[in-house]
Amino acid sequence: MPPPSDIVKVAIEWPGANAQLIEIDQKKPLSSIIREVCDGWSLSGSEQFALRYADGPQLYITEQSRGEIKNGTILRLAISPARAARQLLDRIQSHGIDARLEALKELAKLSADPTFATEFINMDGISTLARLVESGTHFGEMLAFTLTAFLELMDHGIVSWDLISLSFIKQIAGYVNQPMVDVSILQRSLAILESMVLNSHSLYHRVAQEITVGQLIGHLQVSNQEIQTYAIALINALFLKAPEDRRQEEHTNPLDQRLTEMASTLAQKHLRSIILNHVIRGNRPIKAEMAHQLYVLQVLTFNLLEERMMTKMDPSDQAQRDIIFELRRIAFDGDNDPSNTEKRKAMYTKDYKMLGFTNHVNPAMDFTQTPPGMLALDNMLYLAKLHQDTYIRIVLENSSREDKHECPFGRCAIELTRMLCEILQVGELPNEGCNDYHPMFFTHDRAWEEFFCVCIQLVNKTWKEMRATAEDFNKVMQVVREQVTRALALKPSSLDQLKSKLRALSYSEILRLRQSERMNQDDFQSPPIIELRERIQPEILELIKQQRLNRLCEGSCFRKLGNRRRQEKFWFCRLSLNHKVLHYGDLDESPQGEVPFEMLSDKIPVSDIKSVVTGKDCPHMKEKSALKQNKEVLELAFSILYDPDEALNFVAPNKYEYCIWTDGLCALLGREMGSDLTRSDLDTLISMEMKLRLLDLENITIPEAPPPVPKEPSTYNFTYNYG
C-alpha cells in the first residue's frame, strides 16, 4: 500500500552524527518537525535551527517551500537563517582578516538563498557591505566575495536600487575604469552597473556620468569572453535606458562620449570594428550569452531607425521636398530646368513617373504612410549619393523598357524599406533568450543603408527574371521577401557574402525550392499511393516517437529565467533509460556532454505526471502576467503538471528543443505528438520511404511465363538522426 501523499520519507544529516531517517508529516508545523529532529540528537534550542537541502543550492526549507520536498531527499540540520545572518554580519566586521575572508566567502554562497537574504537585509547587511566597498580597503578575493554577496542580495528585489549612494557608484565605476583589475572583481563590477541601470532611472544617469565608451572598449579587446559579454551587456543596458532625445545627438569624439548618447557611438567605426575583430571574428567560438548580447545590440541599433520609420513626410516642407528634387537631379542631370513654369511642371511629372513614384504630380504623398515613412526616402537618397552609378542604371534601365515591364523604382524602394523593417523587426524590443544576430551588420558603418542597396538591386533583378508587369508588383515583392529571408537564414558573414547568396537564390531557384517543399503535398495523390502512405504512417510515427524518447534520455540543458544580470544559471533534465522517472537538477555551468543521473538531485515519477501545458497556460507564464510577456519566451515555454499540485517549468533554448521535449513528453504519456517538427519529419520520412518502395516496384522484372507472383515492396530500414 503506497504511503499517504502528505508523508515524505527523508534523511537528515548533522555533522559528527549518524543521519536520521524520518517520515515528515506535511500537515505538522515545520517547527515541530525541527524540534523532533533536534531531540533525536539531544540538541536544545530548536528555534535556533532550520532545515536545508544537503545537495544543489542548499536552500533553506520554509513553510512555503516545504511542499517541494520529495521522497528520498537528503536534508541537513543547520543554524537558522536569522542566526546565520547575525553571525556572518558580526564576522565580516571583525578585525581578523582570515576570519573576515571566510565569512565573506560563506556570505557570497548563502546570499543566493531568499530566506537568508531577507534576514541579512533586515539587519542592514547591504549597507554594511556597501560601506566595506566604499572604504576602498578591500582587495582581491575579499573584494570579489563582497561584490558577489552584494549582487546576489540585491538581485532578490527586496530593497530598491535607488538607495545606493553616489560614492558606491563611483567606487564600482573605478574598478571598471582601472587598467589592471582582478577579472572576478571586474566581472562583478560590470554586472552591478548593469543592474543599476536596468533597475533605477536615477542610477542610470549617475552611471552614465561615470562610464564612457572609450573606457569600455578596452574590455572588448581582452581574451576573456565573459568580460567582453558583461561589457556589451552594460553598453546595451545604457543604450536601452537612454532618453530618446539623447540617443540621436552627435559628438565630435566618440571615445569620450557619455553612454547617454549611444546612437552616434554605435555608428562609429572604432567601436563597431572592435566588436567585429575582437568578438565576432575572435579566436573563440561565440557562446550563447555573447550571441544574445550581440543580438540585443543589433536590435537596439536598428531601433534607432524607428523614429524616421514612423515619421510622415510633410508635403509642404520645402527641405523634405528638396530631397525628392535631388533624386530627380541625380537621375536626369536636371540642373538646367526650363524657366517656363508650365514646362517645368510637365517635365517634373514625366521624370517622377520615370522614377517610379505612384503620385507623379506630388511624389511627397508617397511618403505619408508609416511605416516606412521618411526612412524610405533616406534609403533612396543614400543609394543615389553613395551608389550613384547603380541608382542611375536602375532608373534609366527601367525608363527605357516597355511601359508594361518597367520596374517602378520609387514604389519598390518604399515597399522594400517597409519589408526590411518587418524582417528585422525594427521598433520591437529584444526577445529574451534569442541569439539571432547577423555578423554582416557589424561589418559596415552604414550597414542598414548598404543592406537596402543590395536588396533594391535584387528587386530589379528579380523583376526582370519574372518578366513582371505592374500587376505583378505584389508577387515580385513576395519572391524578394523569400529571397532575403532565406539568405539571412544562411548567416552571411559579410555584405559580399549576402550578395553571393542572393545571386544563387534566383527566381528559378526559388521556384525549384518551392516545388521541392510542396512535393509532399502535391505528389502521390492517387488512391493506391494514399493507401500506401496510410499504411506506412504508423511505423514512421513509431520511429519518430522512439527518436524523441531517446533525446529525452540524453537530456537537455535549460537556462533559468528571471535573472536580470546577464550571468547564466542552468539546470538539466533527462529521462531515465527505463522511461519511468524524470531526473533534474541545477548546474553551475552549461554542460559540455552528457550529465550523469547522480548529478541530478531531483526527480519526478512519470506515473505522477498529469499533463503537459504550453505557452500562456504554463504556471511560470501566468505568474508574470503583470509584465509585458515576450512573445518568443511564450512560444518556448512548457510545463509538466504532476501530483499533488506541482509544476516543473521549462523555457526551451530554441524551437527545435521545444518540439523535441513537448513531443517526447506527449509520447511518454501516450498522447499524440503534434508539433510542426513532427509533422515535417513525418512528411519527409514518409516521402523517403514511399520513393524507395515505389523504386522497388519500378525495378520488378516480369517474366513472360509463368504468370508472375506479385512482389511485396521492400521496406527500407533507416534511422533518422538529428544532429
- 3-state SS, 462-489, equals HHHHHCCCHHHHHHHHHHHHHHHHHHHH
CATH code for position 590: 2.30.29.30
- Separation CA 183–CA 436 (nearest Å): 28
Tell me the pLDDT band of 716, cut-offs 50, 70 and 90.
Answer: very low
293 and 235 Cβ atoms separated by less than 8 Å: no
Identify whether residues 474 and 426 lie together within a single domain.
yes
Identify whether residues 344 and 417 lie together within a single domain.
yes
Looking only at the bridges linking them, the beta strands covering 637-642 and 646-651 are antiparallel
Q: Is the pLDDT of residue 379 over 70?
A: yes
| Residue 711 domain flag | no
Could you count the other beta carbons within 10 Å of the beta carbon of residue 150?
25
DSSP state of 615: G
pLDDT for 287? 92
Q: Is the pLDDT of residue 167 over 70?
A: yes
pLDDT for 704? 44
Identify whether residues 241 and 369 lie together within a single domain.
no
| Residue 700 domain flag | no
Identify whether residues 254 and 136 lie together within a single domain.
yes
Q: Is the pLDDT of residue 148 over 90?
A: yes
Query: Going edge to edge, which strands form the sheet with 609-614?
Result: 609-614, 637-642, 646-651
pLDDT for 562? 62
pLDDT per position as a tens digit, 27-50: 999 999 999 999 999 999 999 999
Identify whether residues 53 and 122 lie together within a single domain.
no
Q: Is the pLDDT of residue 121 over 90?
A: yes
Identify whether residues 176 and 299 lie together within a single domain.
yes
Identify whether residues 472 and 333 lie together within a single domain.
yes
Give me the mean pLDDT over the 414-438 stretch.
94
Q: How many residues does the chain have?
A: 723
Tell me the three-class secondary structure of 144-208, residue by residue: HHHHHHHHHHHHCCCCCHHHCCHHHHHHHHHHHHCCCCCHHHHHHHHHHHHHHHHHCHHHHHHHH
| Residue 394 domain flag | yes
Domain membership of residue 14 as a residue range = 7-79
Of 22, 52, 79, which residue constitutes the final position of a domain?
Answer: 79
Q: Is the pLDDT of residue 213 over 90?
A: no
Identify whether residues 99 and 73 lie together within a single domain.
no
What pTM was computed for the model?
0.72
- Separation CA 175–CA 190 (nearest Å): 9
442 and 272 Cβ atoms separated by less than 8 Å: yes
- Separation CA 334–CA 448 (nearest Å): 29
Identify whether residues 623 and 674 lie together within a single domain.
yes
Of 44, 79, 114, which residue constitutes the final position of a domain?
Answer: 79
| Residue 698 domain flag | no
| Residue 527 domain flag | no
- Residue of 697, 693, 694, 700 whose CA lies nearest to 715: 693
Return the higher-pLDDT residue of 84 and 178. Answer: 84
CATH code for position 20: 3.10.20.90
The count of domains in the chain is 4
The share of the chain scoring above pLDDT 90, in percent, equals 61
pLDDT for 253? 41
- Separation CA 383–CA 452 (nearest Å): 8
Mean pLDDT computed over every residue of the chain: 86
| Residue 183 domain flag | yes
pLDDT for 333? 77
Tell me the pLDDT band of 340, cut-offs 50, 70 and 90.
Answer: low
106 and 85 Cβ atoms separated by less than 8 Å: no
pLDDT for 241? 86
| Residue 530 domain flag | no
Identify whether residues 401 and 259 lie together within a single domain.
no
| Residue 96 domain flag | yes
Q: Is the pLDDT of residue 500 over 90?
A: yes
Cis previous bond, 372, omega within 30:
yes
Poorest-pLDDT segment among 159-163, 372-376, 516-520, 671-675:
516-520
74 and 66 Cβ atoms separated by less than 8 Å: no
Who's near 393: CB < 8 A, 6+ residues apart? none
377 and 317 Cβ atoms separated by less than 8 Å: no
pLDDT for 719? 38
pLDDT per position as a tens digit, 234-273: 999 988 888 765 554 433 343 444 444 454 544 456 888 9
Tell me the pLDDT band of 627, cut-offs 50, 70 and 90.
Answer: very low
Return the higher-pLDDT residue of 81 and 404. Answer: 81
The enclosing H or E element of 558 equals strand 556-559
Of 464, 484, 518, which residue constitutes the final position of a domain?
Answer: 518
Could you count the other beta carbons within 10 Å of the beta carbon of residue 338?
12
Identify whether residues 44 and 161 lie together within a single domain.
no
- Separation CA 682–CA 118 (nearest Å): 52
Identify whether residues 389 and 510 lie together within a single domain.
yes
In the three-class reduction of DSSP (H, G, I as helix; E, B as strand; rest coil), residue 41 is classed as coil
Return the higher-pLDDT residue of 592 and 106. Answer: 106
pLDDT for 616? 87
Tell me the pLDDT band of 574, cut-offs 50, 70 and 90.
Answer: very high
